[in-house]
Amino acid sequence: MDGSELSLSRRDLLIAGAASAAAAAGPAEAATRPPAPRPQAGDVPRSRVSLEVNGTARSLEIDNRTTLLDALREHLHLTGTKKGCDHGQCGACTVLVNGERINACLTLLLMHEGAKVTTIEGLGTPARMHPLQAAFVKHDGYQCGYCTPGQICSAVGALDELRRGVPSHVTTDLGAPPPLSAEELRERMSGNLCRCGAYSNIVDAVSEVEGIRT
């Protein structure tokens, strides 16, 4: 018997031994192992979340995986908040949560129990527009309008940050209040994309509301 035949024989022996051991143990393990439960449609974890949306108390029993964006659009039918990239890159879904602007597509509704959420519908109406809404109309701060709700909600948050003295990446003196400048405004609004390219008009609109010189 040469070396190749000896090597093949050992390999066959190992395979046969492993197969025999599995066959012998399989029935015994199967007899003692409880059957795996089959997933049911109603097994998806759900929770009840109560929060305030545009000044109104709302309560939803919802799939734990539901984003704040989908809860607003699909369950509360507040479709002013737009779904753009759904990856937190375009800012179209920007809303205010407890006064802070966030991307609604990147956060779960479950995380906002008791929160106060403001969407574009809660800022103003066609009859009584928010000053920023009126300024966007005056300065033609939109073209297709898809990004506009997120732009306006983000501008509300950005101006509040400026008033509170929150620094940005372009604030040079962290020990002093940030200046009311177009540079500060552009940096703070840089997370909101406008595919139509209405950026200069958007800056003019927001600047007029806050008295910023462009």
Q: Above 60 in pLDDT, residue 39? A: no
Domains 45-123 and 124-214 share a fold: no
49-97 pLDDT per residue, tens:
999 999 999 999 999 999 999 999 999 999 999 999 999 999 999 999 9
Q: Name the pTM for this structure.
A: 0.78
**Domain map (residue ranges) of the chain:** 45-123, 124-214
Res 190: pLDDT: 95
pLDDT band, residue 212 (cuts 50/70/90): confident
Beta strands in 54-186 (DSSP E): 56-63, 94-97, 100-103, 116-118
Architecture of domain 124-214: Orthogonal Bundle (1.10)
CB 205 within 8 A of CB 149: no
**Which class would CATH give 45-123?**
alpha beta
> How many CA atoms within 13 Å lie on the side-chain side of 65?
3
Give the whole-number percent of the chain exceeding pLDDT 90.
Answer: 72
